[in-house]
Amino acid sequence: MNFNKKLVLAGILFVTLLLAACGESDNAAEDNGDTSTEQEQNGTRTITDAVGNEVEVPANPQNVIASYLEDYLVALDITPVAQWSVRDGEDVQDYLQDDLGQVPTIPSDLPYEAVASFEPDLLIMDSAEMVEGNKYEQYSKIAPTYVVGEAQNNEWREELKDVAKVFAKEEEAEQILADYEEKATNAKEEISSAIGSESAAALWLFNDTFYIVNENLSSGDVLYNDLGLTAPNVVQEISGDTVANWSEISLEKLAELDADHIFLINDDKESGSKMLDDPIWQNIPAVQNGNIYEYPGDSAWLYTGPIANSQIIDDVLESVTE
């Protein structure tokens, strides 16, 4: 009898403890579930941006503004409600207009009134610089605001991944990067076979002034890091002194540019491109050998992202392997 009583008591104790545990579990679920349950009901997720803000973003945002990040949006099959522009909407990222041609423009400095007029449900900022001072607070009053990078120029692959995270499209981003790396690797082999270790530079002509691309940014990153082209000494020297994508190059330095190939982004074509008649330009080895590959100012060469960089690879391949 004593043994049986012990069994019964043990059973009662077990059931009591089990019920208590279930009650605690339910209470914990209620306590911890307030935020997650509310977010599920509201269709939102909380993620932390590059500067430490915890941002509650819509699970399926419909009206997105991501100024100057449109390359990443298009690559991820997302259409913003407004697109970056300058000069009162006259200048946009032309290379994206097959996808964004019907999307209205917004000034690049994102005035609050202009932003609010589009009734966005999500704002994505390219860098911390865009939300300095009390700007973040002001934008956050309009819509959830997510900052992608701390620096002015962020590595584009990481930027793509970060933008993809906002939309829960990490797998799509990884596939985009895998496709790009395969394309760059194949192109690098073709280019090496065509021109070997010959050097190349990218120059932008705008308002009678030459600018040269940074060795590690914008199209320079594609030329030298992805495609393995040789950077002339002048490119290396100027790149070491600046964090800008494009830097003005003096005529004195232009005279030292011993590039075998030049990719010229010509914004002065309509005004006559008179700087191309200057003797200094004419004495550059690439000019003397006819290795000048010219592109309009609205081409992808002035931008960065998976779409822009892929187009740059196409341009380089077509130019040096023809």
Is residue 70 included in any domain, yes or no? yes
Q: What is the CA radius of gyration of the chain?
A: 27
Is residue 312 pLDDT above 50, yes or no? yes
Q: Are 153 and 213 in the same domain?
A: no
Phi and psi angles of residue 305, each rounded to the nearest 5 degrees, phi first:
135, 170
pLDDT at res. 19: 41
Q: Are 130 and 210 in the same domain?
A: no
Binned at pLDDT 50, 70 and 90, residue 33 comes out as very low
Is residue 135 included in any domain, yes or no? yes
pLDDT at res. 110: 97
pLDDT at res. 322: 76
Taking only the tens place, the pLDDT of each residue in 137-162 is 999 999 999 999 887 678 999 999 99
Q: Are 311 and 201 in the same domain?
A: yes
Is residue 143 included in any domain, yes or no? yes
Q: How far apart are CA 165 and CA 174, in angstroms?
A: 11
Q: Are 103 and 217 in the same domain?
A: no
Domain boundary among 140, 172, 204: 172
When pLDDT is averaged across residues 12-24 and rounded to a whole number, the result is 43
pLDDT at res. 241: 85
Percent of the chain with pLDDT over 90: 82
Q: Are 314 and 208 in the same domain?
A: yes
Pairing outcome for strands 105-107 and 122-125: unpaired
pLDDT at res. 154: 82
CA distances from 249 to 38, 70, 264, 289 (A): 56, 29, 14, 22
pLDDT at res. 153: 76
pTM, to two decimals = 0.86
- Quick one: which H or E segment has residue 80? none
Give all strands of the β-sheet with 122-125 in edge-to-edge order.
64-65, 122-125, 145-147
pLDDT at res. 41: 54
User: Residue 162 maps to which CATH number?
Assistant: 3.40.50.1980
**Inter-helix orientation angle 170-195/156-166, to 10°:** 160
Give all strands of the β-sheet with 200-206 in edge-to-edge order.
246-248, 209-213, 200-206, 261-266, 292-296
Is residue 26 pLDDT above 60, yes or no? no
When pLDDT is averaged across residues 219-239 and rounded to a whole number, the result is 97
Show the domain range for 302.
196-320
Domain boundary among 172, 188, 205: 172
The mean pLDDT value of the chain amounts to 89
Structural domain total, the chain:
2
Q: Are 155 and 221 in the same domain?
A: no
Taking only the tens place, the pLDDT of each residue in 73-96 is 999 999 999 999 999 989 999 999
Is residue 29 pLDDT above 60, yes or no? no
pLDDT at res. 15: 40
When pLDDT is averaged across residues 121-150 and rounded to a whole number, the result is 95
Taking only the tens place, the pLDDT of each residue in 37-60 is 455 556 899 999 999 999 999 999
Q: Are 165 and 225 in the same domain?
A: no
Is residue 157 included in any domain, yes or no? yes
Is residue 22 pLDDT above 50, yes or no? no
Q: Are 227 and 287 in the same domain?
A: yes
For residues 1 and 41, the model is more confident at 41
Q: Are 160 and 66 in the same domain?
A: yes
pLDDT at res. 10: 41
Taking only the tens place, the pLDDT of each residue in 278-300 is 999 999 999 999 999 999 999 99
When pLDDT is averaged across residues 161-176 and rounded to a whole number, the result is 97
Q: Are 140 and 105 in the same domain?
A: yes
Is residue 261 included in any domain, yes or no? yes
**DSSP E strands, the chain:** 44-48, 54-58, 64-65, 83-85, 105-107, 122-125, 145-147, 200-206, 209-213, 246-248, 261-266, 292-296
Binned at pLDDT 50, 70 and 90, residue 179 comes out as very high
